[in-house]
Structure 1
C-alpha cells in the first residue's frame, strides 16, 4: 500500500457519516499526517538510511594502564651512570619522582611520572590527575566535545592534553619519534638542559637532563639529546611501551597546505539528506546550537543547525592550525584521539542503558560513531587532514526519543555527505 491508498478509504467512510465536511477534513488530515510519519515511511523516521560500516578492531590502543611505579622511575643503573657519572640519589622514586645529581660536574637527571587515573586501577578516585603516590590533585576538566549528556574525560585523553606541560614557552619544542604513544622534546643550550615529555597510555613521563660542565663551556647537542633519549626509552619501556626503532628528535613536519574552514558549513549538507533526517527543515541556524569539537587555540570553527519540533541536527567543522611542535594535521589527529578515547569510555547514566561505539573506516582519515542512551545522542566524528567534523542527530522533543539505529544512521548519512564536499 502506498501513502495515498491508506487515508482515502478512511476519508470516504467518515464522509458518509453525519459529520460536517469540515470535521471530516480535519480528521483526515490528522490521519494522513500520522500515516506519513509512521516508522519506515519517508520523512525523518525513514528506515532506508544505511548503518555505518565499522572496522573489525579499534585502531586506537586502550593502554598501557599503569598500576604501580617502576623502580628508579624506570631508568636503568647503567643509564644513570652514563648520564650522571658518580650520581647521588636525591629522590628515589617515592611519589613518582626521581632525581640524581653529580656535585662535581653539576650533571643531573630528573624524572617525574604523572598518571591520570581511573577507578578500575584502584589507586585513587576517577578521573583525577595525580603523581603516583601523592594525594590527588583537583579533578581534571570534563571533556567538552559535545553539548549533550555526561561525557567523561578518560585518563588517557587527559594525558594527551598534558603532554607538553613544563616545557619552556620561549623554546620551540620538537617532535620525538619512536617513544611511547607520542613524545616531544626541547634542547636548551643556554641552560644546558634537554627536556623530553613522553606519553605511554595514561602516564606522562617528564625528563630533564642537565649535562653539567663541559670543556670550553660548549658541547655538541647530539650527545645530550642521545643521552636523554636513552633515559626516556628506559622509562617508556618500564611503562609498557617499548621503543619503536631508534628514538630520535624528528624533523619539522611538512606536507600539503592546510585546509581552510569551508565558507558555508550549512551548504555541506545536501537537501536530499536533510529531507530524510529532518523533513520540514526550515531555515538553517548558522553558528548556533552546538559547540566546537575541541578548544585548540587559533582554530576556526563553523557551525550549522537545523531544528523542527521532532528532530534536530547539529554540524560542526573546525579547521586546526599548526600548534607548537605539531603541524595542523598532527594536532587535529591528537584532538581527534581525545574525542575518540572519551567517546569510547563513556557509559550510560543508569543500569541497562544502551551504549554504542564503533571505529569506522571512513568518512575521512579517522572516524567513529557513538551513542549512549540517556547521555549523548548519535554522533559521528571524523578527521579529514586538519579538519575535524562532528554531526549530531537527535530528537527535537525529548519525550519522543530516537532509537539508537535512527540517531546513529542519521548522523552517519550526514557525515558521509559532508566528507564528499570537502576539498581533497
Structure 2
C-alpha cells in the first residue's frame, strides 16, 4: 500500500468505523475509494512489555527473590520466621545472641488475581497518594522502582515500609535495623531503615520482571510539563477531513462532562435500515493535577487499566509504537445471532487520554480487524497531530 492510499485510508477511517455511541447521531453518505487495499493490518505494532509482571514468575521464588548476600547484610545471624503465605511472603529476624547490629525484614507479595485495577486500588489505599493523607504515615514516592513505589517510616518502631506495584503485583517490604547493647535496643534511624527497605525491594522487583534502576526517594517531583488543554474532537475531525475521505457529514453529536476528569466526545452514526449500520466515537479526557499526583501520571495509570482489560478480553490485542507516549489497539468479534465487530485505538499524551472506538459491516458481514483498526489508527493520527507538543 503506497503513502497516498495510507493517507486516504486514514481519512476514510472516520466514516467507516463504528463506535458505540451514547448520543444522537447523524446520517452519513458513504463513498469508499476503490483503490484502497485494506485487507492487511497496517499498525506500528511493538512487543507488549507493559505492564510487566504476572502472577506466574514469583510464586516459586526462593526467599521471595532476595539473595543470600543481601539477607546476610540486612539481617545478620538471621532466623527464618513463619510466613503467613509461604508462596508469597517471607520473614526474617536476627537471632538475639547478645550485643551487635540486628535487623528484621519481611516481604509480602499480592498478585490481585491478575487485576491491574485491584493492584492500583491496593497501592492507593496503602500509600494514600491519590488523596490527602489521613494516617500518621507520610509516604514519599520512590523513583526507578517498579511501575510506581512509595516509602514511609514509622519512628515509633524504627521501621521503614515500602510499597511497590509492578503491573498486577504489589509488594510490601518492612525493614528495621537496630543495635543491641546488653538488653538495650536502639534504632539506627530512618536513613538506614529506608535504604535497607529499598535495597530489598529492588531485588524482589527485579526478580518478578519489574524495573529496578537506581531506585531512590524523591525529594520533589521537580518541574512538571504544562498540562495539555482539553480540545473538542468534533473540531479536530471536522467536515473537511470527512469530505476529503469521501464522506458527507451534515451534522454531528457531542457530549461533555466536567467532573473530576473533564471529557469531550464526538459521535457520528450511520443508520441504513440494514445490518450495515456504522458509528464512530472519538473522546478525549484531560486529567488535572491532584495534590500528590500529577495529571500525566493519572492518565498513564488509567491507560494501564484499559491496557489490562483490553489485553484480557479482546479477540486480538496490539501494543503500538504511537501515536502519543503509549498506545494500543484491540479488536472484538462476537459470533452471535447478530455478529458484531468493533475495535478501539487508545493513546495517552501527557495528561490527555484519547479513545477512538469504531465498528461496522459491509454487505451484512462485520468489519474485519483490518477494516476497523486501520481506520481507527488513522483517526488517532489525526487527533495526535492536532495536539500541542
Same fold (TM over 0.5): yes
Q: Is 1:115 the counterpart of 2:83 in the alignment?
A: no
**In structure 2, the residue corresponding to 1:322 is in which secondary structure?**
coil
Partner of 2:376 in structure 1?
411
Mark the CA change 1:241 to 1:404 in structure 2 (over 3 Å): closer, same or farther. Answer: closer
Q: 1:400 Cα deviation (Å)?
A: 5.6
Deviation string for 1:227-269 (max 9, x for gaps)?
111211232243344733x32113432322222322x342221
Check whether the contact 1:173–1:325 (CA below 8 A) recurs between aligned residues: no
**In structure 2, the residue corresponding to 1:423 is in which secondary structure?**
coil
Q: 1:313 Cα deviation (Å)?
A: 1.1
Q: 1:111 Cα deviation (Å)?
A: 1.5
Deviation string for 1:190-235 (max 9, x for gaps)?
5533221223454321112244689997755321111111211232
Mark the CA change 1:369 to 1:78 in structure 2 (over 3 Å): closer, same or farther. Answer: closer
2:356 alignment partner, one of 391, 395, 408: 391
2:238 alignment partner, one of 270, 293, 314: 270
Larger Rg: 1
Check whether the contact 2:284–2:352 (CA below 8 A) recurs between aligned residues: yes
Q: 1:47 Cα deviation (Å)?
A: 6.5
Q: 1:415 Cα deviation (Å)?
A: 1.6
Aligned-pair Cα RMSD in Å = 4.0
Q: 1:54 Cα deviation (Å)?
A: 0.5
- How many equivalent pairs are there? 334
Q: For residues 347 and 257 of structure 1, what CA distance do their matches in structure 2 show? A: 34
Q: Is 1:70 the counterpart of 2:61 in the alignment?
A: yes
1:366 alignment partner, one of 326, 329, 349: 326
Check whether the contact 1:273–1:413 (CA below 8 A) recurs between aligned residues: no
Q: For residues 250 and 407 of structure 1, what CA distance do their matches in structure 2 show? A: 43
Superposition pairs of residues 319-338 of structure 1, within 5 angstroms: 319-323=286-290, 326-338=293-305
2:89 alignment partner, one of 97, 103, 124: 97
Instruction: Name whichever structure is richer in strand by fraction.
Output: 2
Which stretches in structure 1 are left out of the alignment for 5+ residues? 1-35, 117-128, 130-153, 349-354
TM normalised by structure 2 equals 0.70
Which stretches in structure 2 are left out of the alignment for 5+ residues? 1-28, 272-276, 335-339
Partner of 1:300 in structure 2?
262
Partner of 2:285 in structure 1?
318
Q: For residues 303 and 91 of structure 2, what CA distance do their matches in structure 1 show? A: 35
Deviation string for 1:119-169 (max 9, x for gaps)?
xxxxxxxxxx2xxxxxxxxxxxxxxxxxxxxxxxx6456545544443354
Mark the CA change 1:39 to 1:411 in structure 2 (over 3 Å): closer, same or farther. Answer: same
Q: For residues 224 and 259 of structure 1, what CA distance do their matches in structure 2 show? A: 39
Check whether the contact 2:265–2:282 (CA below 8 A) recurs between aligned residues: yes
Mark the CA change 1:301 to 1:173 in structure 2 (over 3 Å): closer, same or farther. Answer: farther
Deviation string for 1:94-134 (max 9, x for gaps)?
25233335697996433111124xxxxxxxxxxxx2xxxxx
Mark the CA change 1:80 to 1:382 in structure 2 (over 3 Å): closer, same or farther. Answer: same
Check whether the contact 1:308–1:396 (CA below 8 A) recurs between aligned residues: no
Q: 1:417 Cα deviation (Å)?
A: 1.8
Superposition pairs of residues 4-403 of structure 1, within 5 angstroms: 40=33, 52-58=42-48, 60=50, 63=53, 65-66=56-57, 68-80=59-71, 82-85=73-76, 88-92=79-83, 94-101=86-93, 108-116=104-112, 129=113, 155=115, 159-160=119-120, 162-167=122-127, 169-170=133-134, 171-189=137-155, 192-211=158-177, 220-241=189-210, 243-244=212-213, 246-253=214-221, 254-262=223-231, 264-275=232-243, 276=245, 279-280=248-249, 282-287=251-256, 298-309=260-271, 310-323=277-290, 326-348=293-315, 355=316, 357-374=317-334, 377-395=342-360, 401-403=366-368
Q: For residues 369 and 174 of structure 2, what CA distance do their matches in structure 1 show? A: 49
Partner of 1:423 in structure 2?
388
Q: 1:336 Cα deviation (Å)?
A: 1.9
Deviation string for 1:339-390 (max 9, x for gaps)?
2343234343xxxxxx3x3333332222222212227612111111110100
TM normalised by structure 1 equals 0.65
